[in-house]
Amino acid sequence: IYNLNTSKGEDRMKKSFVVFNLGLANKLIEEGFRLQGTAPSKNAPGKLVFFFKDTETLRKAIEEFK
């Protein structure tokens, strides 16, 4: 569902939490988490990945989503 971005991409994407699940991304946005950006998925053509600032609060919200 998600993965921590550790590549040396754009500055705004560093230390971002990468979400691969659209439903989870929507839930996080609804709960007030700010979307930092999106990018085409390298592993799933036609899909997007969603970048959020990696915080403890975000991780707790993701755990609750499971």
pLDDT tens digit sequence for 15-66: 899 999 999 999 999 999 999 999 999 999 999 999 999 999 999 999 998 8
Structure tokens that stand for 36 in this block: 């930092």
SS (H, E, C) the chain: CEEECCCCCCHHHCCEEEECCHHHHHHHHHCCCCEEEEEECCCCCCCEEEEEECCHHHHHHHHHHC
Nearest CA among 63, 58, 1 for reference residue 31? 58
